Structure 1
Amino acid sequence: MDWAIKIKGYNQRRACALAGIDPRVYRRTSKRPADTQLRTRMKELASERRRCKRPLNPT
């Protein structure tokens, strides 16, 4: 979205229409806490426990 506004020079309404989102969604700021410690730990666990890349439902 920022690319369309800054580089292409589109106004916010036009850029949001092209992306298919409501401008209020683009302007909305998150009220949730960052949870950086939790996210870091989840990424660590995910990298430790990698899974095989195979289809879930082979036919």
Structure 2
Amino acid sequence: MKIALAERLPAKLLAILSSLSFFFGSMLFLPSFADYATVGVWAFMAGSALMFIDILLSNS
């Protein structure tokens, strides 16, 4: 069981990173973090790019 999880983790690493980037980027759009909205935009765009790369790599 542990071996199977360890083998799949690199394949899911881009998906995990893109999800975390979307999550933290979205948090920075909240009013209490308004000073960091620009960073939130960049994190959101990075999450989008990582997801796009993940989809391209998983279909090949």
Q: Which has more helix, going by share of residues?
A: 2
TM-score (norm 2): 0.30
- Higher RCO (CA < 8 A, seq sep 6+): 2
TM-score (norm 1): 0.30
Whose radius of gyration is greater, 1 or 2? Answer: 1
